[in-house]
């Protein structure tokens, strides 16, 4: 098999949802065997839809999509579907195959080792030779009992267990800690087959990709580039500068000819004919102007309003539970949060950060208390605080103390929530759009305590500095979990609680 063989080809492929929601417009590109490609574009542009077409979960409305004959394709989705949360690990992996796989347990053992989710304290060789039952024990564990970061690893493992010729990864670094991202990056560098990755993490992509597919949300077309995303960004910026410069020159010539035409038009005789030619020339220059490329829109700067009349202590943490090697252990601390104090929770995937945040937000943490009357704004990494059956319109209205449609629509527009999106059901939005809805809700409610669990997941990297600035300026108490150092560095942190070191 030739390394130059084209294994994926889109030829003028168009696709739309319903009658008024075009996603792809005569998209054409190709991918060769062994390439590592980044698929980028604005939230809601249709990147996940593109993957859906490749795995035949949807069919193009027109055009031709070709996948190499006999090519195996597997995808790691962004999130585990809710109807699979109560499956055991074994049942989850069995669902990756259309046929019954009789050696599923050793396959699971191998793939869990690859994603660092093997049995605690047991190497693969020890597990297979000495304690096979102990190594296979996690196969009976329920999916929902894993942390968000561990679920991401399970999603990755669900694709890898199929050993596909074409590996499609949708936001694989979401929820992963630093060690997890490094391990995934190393794996992808060594993976001998073809990989296409959707991600908003430019640094992650640039470490192993050799090409970029850029889905333009405005033109609905794919632009294909060699090199990494930083190369693409430079190329796009240079092109925009050239287009603007050309249009500026043409605008000057247009105005000059219009001025001359107006001058000669009043002179009569042959000069009127000259004026007519001048106008025709100006029209020619007008037609020569090019449509300047529209870049991804960025959300507007925003503030998260704080609950009024906050006095004294807002929240206190005296103890919590950590999980290490699947074993829970109680830890004691003495942390008091007052107005304008920001706490960062840190620690590796699976240690209990999300569980602690959830228990505090729901008022069920035995070692944490929130002052009565304090309104909690809670951003969950899985968006389960959102009702997926609600429209965006109703969801935003539901958090407002006083219903003010003009204010709600103004705030929503700042988060690129306009037009059809505001009347769409939340469950039909992309993960990135759900994240923007969650932030819009925080900007519409007056919280005294803000709890944020991996708030950059699924968010376009262009938006992240603006979100960081809003959190940095937040004047209530805040508890933050994030595995993105560049994001955390932009936010004022007053205290760090490292769950691993206690």
Per-residue pLDDT tens for 326-382?
Answer: 678 888 999 999 999 999 999 888 788 888 999 999 988 888 999 999 999 999 988
Residues 398 and 255 in one domain: no
Residue whose tokens read 């208390």 = 369
Q: Are residues 45 and 166 in the same domain?
A: yes
Does residue 112 carry a pLDDT above 60? yes
Residue 296 has pLDDT above 80, yes or no: no
Q: Using an 8 Å Cβ cutoff, are 430 and 331 in contact?
A: no
Do 225 and 325 lie in one domain? The reply is no
- Say yes or no: 83 and 222 in one domain: yes
Domain membership of residue 170 (yes or no) is yes
What's the CA gap between 107 and 77, in Å, rounded? 20
Mean pLDDT of the chain: 85
Asked which of 288, 305, 321 is the last residue of a domain, the reply is: 288
Strands 313-324 and 368-370: antiparallel
End position of a domain, from candidates 232, 250, 268:
232
Whether residues 221 and 272 share a domain: the answer is: no
The whole-angstrom separation of Cα 450 and Cα 400 is 16
Note whether residue 69 is domain-resident.
Answer: yes
Q: Does the residue 301 lie in any domain?
A: no
Domain harbouring 484, CATH code: 3.40.50.300
- 375 lies in a domain? yes
Query: In this structure, are 275 and 177 located in the same domain?
Result: no
- Please give the structure tokens belonging to residue 442: 């925080």
In a domain, 300, yes or no: no
442-464 in b/e form (b: 16+ CB < 10 A) is bbbbbbbbbbbbbbbbbbbbebb
Q: Please check the confidence at residue 449 and state whether its pLDDT lies above 90.
A: yes
- The tokens for 317 are 């943490």
Q: Is residue 120 part of a domain?
A: no
| Alpha-carbon gap, residue 149 to 155, rounded angstroms | 10
What pLDDT does residue 137 have?
A: 43
Supply the range of the domain harboring residue 380.
313-498
Residues 372 and 478 in one domain: yes
Domain count of the fold of the chain = 3
Position with higher pLDDT, 2 vs 219: 219
**With DSSP H G I counted as helix, E B as strand and the rest as coil, what are the percentages for the chain, rounded to 5?**
40, 25, 40
The span from the CA of 146 to the CA of 92, in Å, is 13
Looking at residue 165, its pLDDT comes to 93
What percentage of the chain has pLDDT greater than the value 90?
Answer: 41
Q: Do 246 and 224 belong together in one domain?
A: no
Lowest mean pLDDT among 22-36, 140-154, 485-499: 140-154
Best CA proximity match to 57, nearest among 192, 136, 168, 140:
168
3-class secondary-structure state, position 199:
coil
Which residues does 106 contact at the CB level (< 8 Å), separation at least 6? 128
Q: How far is CA 274 from the centre of its chain?
A: 58
Boundary of a domain, candidates 232, 261, 276: 232
Residue with tokens 């950060």, as numbered in its chain = 353
Q: Residue ranges of the alpha helices (H) in 60-147?
A: 89-94, 104-114, 124-129, 132-136
414: CB partners within 8 A, 6+ apart: 299, 300, 302, 440, 443
Give the pair of three-digit tokens for residue 320.
Answer: 């919590």
Query: Do 148 and 250 have their domain in common?
Result: no
Do 280 and 191 reside in the same domain of the chain? no
- What pLDDT band is residue 69 in, cutting at 50, 70 and 90? confident
pLDDT tens per residue, range 229-283: 777 777 777 777 777 787 788 788 888 888 888 877 777 777 778 878 888 887 8
Least confident of 23-37, 127-141, 352-366: 127-141
Half-sphere exposure of 368 (CA within 13 A, CB side): 22
Same domain? For 88 and 182 the reply is yes
Q: How many CB atoms lie within 10 A of CB 480?
A: 23
Q: Is 249 found in the same domain as 214?
A: no
Q: What is the percent of the chain where pLDDT is above 70?
A: 93
């Amino acid at each position: 098999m030739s390394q130059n063989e084209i294994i994926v080809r889109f030829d003028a492929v168009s696709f739309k949802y319903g009658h008024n929601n075009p996603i792809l417009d005569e998209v054409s590109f190709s991918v060769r065997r062994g390439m590592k490609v980044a698929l980028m574009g604005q939230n809601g542009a249709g990147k996940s839809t593109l993957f859906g077409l490749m795995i035949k979960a949807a069919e193009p409305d027109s055009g031709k999509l070709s996948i190499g004959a006999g090519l195996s394709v597997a995808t790691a989705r962004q999130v585990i579907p809710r109807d699979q949360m109560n499956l055991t690990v074994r049942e989850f992996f069995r669902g990756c195959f259309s046929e019954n796989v009789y050696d599923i347990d050793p396959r699971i053992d191998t793939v869990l080792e690859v994603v660092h989710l093997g049995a605690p304290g047991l190497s693969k060789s020890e597990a297979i030779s000495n304690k096979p039952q102990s190594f296979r024990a996690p196969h009976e564990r329920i999916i929902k009992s894993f942390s968000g970061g561990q679920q991401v690893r399970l999603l990755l493992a669900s694709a890898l267990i199929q050993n596909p010729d074409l590996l499609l990864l949708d936001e694989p670094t979401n929820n992963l800690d630093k060690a997890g991202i490094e391990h995934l990056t190393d794996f992808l560098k060594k993976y001998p087959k073809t990989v296409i990755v959707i991600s908003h993490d430019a640094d992650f992509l640039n470490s192993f990709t050799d090409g970029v597919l850029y889905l333009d949300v405005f033109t609905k077309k794919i632009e294909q580039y060699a090199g990494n995303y930083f190369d693409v960004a430079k190329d796009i910026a240079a092109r925009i500068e050239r287009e603007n410069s050309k249009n500026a020159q043409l605008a000057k010539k247009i105005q000059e000819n219009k001025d001359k035409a107006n001058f000669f038009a009043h002179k009569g005789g042959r000069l009127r004919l000259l004026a007519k030619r001048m106008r025709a020339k100006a029209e020619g220059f007008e037609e020569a102007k090019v449509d300047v490329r529209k870049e991804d829109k960025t959300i507007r700067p925003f503030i998260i309003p704080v609950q009024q009349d906050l006095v004294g202590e807002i929240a206190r943490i005296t103890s919590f539970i950590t999980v290490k090697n699947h074993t829970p252990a109680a830890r004691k601390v003495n942390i008091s949060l007052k107005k304008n104090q920001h706490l960062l929770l840190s620690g590796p995937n699976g240690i209990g950060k999300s569980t602690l945040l959830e228990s505090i937000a729901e008022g069920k943490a035995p070692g944490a208390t929130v002052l009565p009357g304090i309104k909690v704004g809670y951003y969950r990494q899985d968006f389960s605080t959102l009702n997926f059956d609600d429209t965006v319109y109703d969801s935003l209205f539901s958090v407002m103390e006083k219903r003010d449609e003009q204010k709600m629509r103004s705030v929503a527009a700042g988060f690129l929530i306009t037009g059809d999106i505001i009347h769409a059901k939340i469950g039909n939005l992309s993960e990135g759009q759900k994240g923007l809805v969650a932030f819009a809700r925080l900007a519409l409610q007056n919280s005294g305590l803000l709890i944020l669990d991996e708030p950059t997941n699924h968010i376009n990297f262009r938006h992240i500095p603006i979100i960081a600035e809003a959190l940095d300026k937040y004047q209530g108490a805040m508890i933050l979990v994030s595995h993105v150092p560049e994001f955390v560095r932009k936010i004022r942190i007053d205290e760090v609680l490292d769950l691993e070191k206690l």
